[in-house]
Amino acid sequence: MSIIKDINLHKLGEQKIEWVKKYMPVLRGLEEEFVKTQPFAGVKVALSIHLEAKTAYLVKVLAAGGATMYVTGSNPLSTQDDVAAALAHAGIEVFATHNCTMEEYDMYIAKAIEKDIDIVIDDGGDLTTLIHKDQKKASTIIGGAEETTTGIIRLKAMAKRGELMYPMMSVNDADCKHLFDNRYGTGQSSWDGIMRTSNLVIAGKTVVVAGYGWVSRGIAAKANGLGANVVVTEIDSIKAIEAIMDGFRVMTMDEAAKVGDIFVTGTGCKDVIIQKHFDTMKDGVLLSNAGHFDCEVSVADLEKNSVSKKEMRKNIMGYVQADGRILNVIGEGRLVNLAAADGHPAEIMDMSFALQALSMKYLLENHKDLENEVLAVPREIDLLVAQRKLESLDVNIDSLTQDQIDYLNE
Ligand code: NAI
């Protein structure tokens, strides 16, 4: 039995899924194949990914290939109730409600793995962590795939301690994932979230981007495109030079806190912006986070030290400081592109989720030979997704002649 907000919302959810499907040609092609070949017949899959329309379409594609799906979200604010309703209405078991408490969130994840599970599709590692609390359960699982950087870091730590009990495919590390999803996807959708929630101008503002990895590079590039003055903070000297060469100012967060108008964190780290930074910020700044967990902008510090708080606009909480300044947090400091917008554009998730679907097929076909490690997605799968994406865009590229291959191998 699904646990969702309201099944009557299903029509709106179906409309959203139909919309994204049109822009996900690679996944659509896989769906056509899977309907015929049924590669997942009899396979039970627990999935925990931000529950919006693109994810729902992935769920439908896997189900069309024969899988029985148990679905939950991967963040309380990113779940869309109408999309959850559409899946439940289609007969898929869903455990997710928007804005649930953390207790409910944990309960939903537990529900998704309550039955016997063969495969795990995770985003951030919460599902895998919970499964490993029950060694008996973990030992029955064939393997899984992880969607994001933070999840991969957690999984690698488990593998290093010798605790990982099944192989996990590192979808995030495939080129067709992080090059496009983390960079361009988060870049565009984070600004979508910040702009639609605040309805303020970006041009001319000083935007402070914490980190200069895949996610934060994309956010900085799009801020630049919107006409902002971009400041980058980093802990890695090489990334810092890269930011400088890309034309951005680099400074510490202590310095940046004083000059920024809009802050976006995307580091995967914690306590990137804390009280000592809040103390020196300008009145009216916007604070947001695009990293996986809501610990980059310390909302805990704001909750503790502010004299009061008030909702300034839908999804923007204003924290009033003792001197009267108001610091505005978007989407509770959770991933701004999902908590305050609809996540990455469909065309980008087309590649990420095609990788997920093909990784799952690979896992089923090869699991007996795989170690209990974090495993790279085979290059052939990455290239297949890229080729199909190009085909869908009607773009041809050159190929090497034998003569050229010989020349390059000399
Ligand atoms: P990455 O490893 O490519 O980049 C992280 C960067 O942050 C690195 O350059 C690192 O040196 C820097 N960094 C770490 N701690 C820092 C600190 N305290 N101050 C300043 N810089 C710091 O990782 P990636 O792929 O960019 O992912 C970052 C986070 O975003 C992860 O939590 C990931 O799971 C999440 N993510 C979020 C998405 C979304 O839809 N919002 C999509 C994809 C990833």
Please name every residue paired with 248 in a beta bridge, in sequence order, or none if there are none. Answer: none
pLDDT at 204: 98
Rounded Cα gap, residues 403 and 334, in angstroms: 53
pLDDT at 85: 98
pLDDT at 209: 98
pLDDT at 83: 97
| Block mean pLDDT (10 aa), the chain, length 410 | 96 98 98 98 96 97 98 92 97 96 95 94 94 94 95 96 96 97 98 98 98 98 98 98 98 98 98 98 98 97 98 98 98 96 96 97 96 97 98 97 96
The answer to whether the CB of 306 is under 6 A from ligand 1 is: no
The answer to whether the CB of 210 is under 6 A from ligand 1 is: yes
Could you tell me the pTM of the whole model?
0.94
- Over 341-360, what HEC string results? CCCCCHHHHHHHHHHHHHHH
Ligand 1: residue whose CA is nearest its atom 3:
213
Pocket test for ligand 1, best of 176, 242, 267 (most atoms within 8 A of CB): 267
Pocket test for ligand 1, best of 48, 126, 148 (most atoms within 8 A of CB): 148
The answer to whether the CB of 291 is under 6 A from ligand 1 is: yes
Residue 217 tokens, joined: 């590079």
Written as one letter, the residue type at 240 is: A
If you measure from the C-alpha of residue 88 to the centroid of ligand 1, how many angstroms do you get, rounded to a whole number?
33
If you measure from the C-alpha of residue 150 to the centroid of ligand 1, how many angstroms do you get, rounded to a whole number?
8
pLDDT at 133: 95
- Over the chain, what HEC string results? CCECCCHHHHHHHHHHHHHHHHCCHHHHHHHHHHHHHCCCCCCEEEEECCCCHHHHHHHHHHHHCCCEEEEECCCCCCCCHHHHHHHHHCCCEEECCCCCCHHHHHHHHHHHCCCCCCEEEECCCHHHHHHCCCHHHHHCCCEEEECCHHHHHHHHHHHHCCCCCCCEEEHHHCHHHHHHHHHHHHHHHHHHHHHHHHCCCCCCCEEEEECCCHHHHHHHHHHHHCCCEEEEECCCHHHHHHHHHCCCEECCHHHHHHHCCEEEECCCCCCCECHHHHCCCCCCCEEEECCCCCCCECHHHHHHHCCEEEEEECCEEEEECCCCCEEEEEHHHCEHHHHCCCCCCHHHHHHHHHHHHHHHHHHHHHHHHCCCCEEECCHHHHHHHHHHHHHHCCCCCCCCCHHHHHHHHC
Query: In this predicted model, what pLDDT tens digit does every residue of 107-158 receive, in sequence order?
Result: 999 999 998 999 999 999 999 999 999 999 999 999 999 999 999 999 999 9
Query: In this predicted model, what pLDDT tens digit does every residue of 189-244 receive, in sequence order?
Result: 999 999 999 999 999 999 999 999 999 999 999 999 999 999 999 999 999 999 99
The answer to whether the CB of 292 is under 6 A from ligand 1 is: yes
If you measure from the C-alpha of residue 212 to the centroid of ligand 1, how many angstroms do you get, rounded to a whole number?
8
Close Cβ partners of 311 (under 8 Å, ≥ 6 residues apart): 317, 318
If you measure from the C-alpha of residue 268 to the centroid of ligand 1, how many angstroms do you get, rounded to a whole number?
4
The answer to whether the CB of 155 is under 6 A from ligand 1 is: no
The answer to whether the CB of 348 is under 6 A from ligand 1 is: no
pLDDT at 238: 98
Atom of ligand 1 lying closest to residue 336 CA: 41
Written as one letter, the residue type at 349 is: M
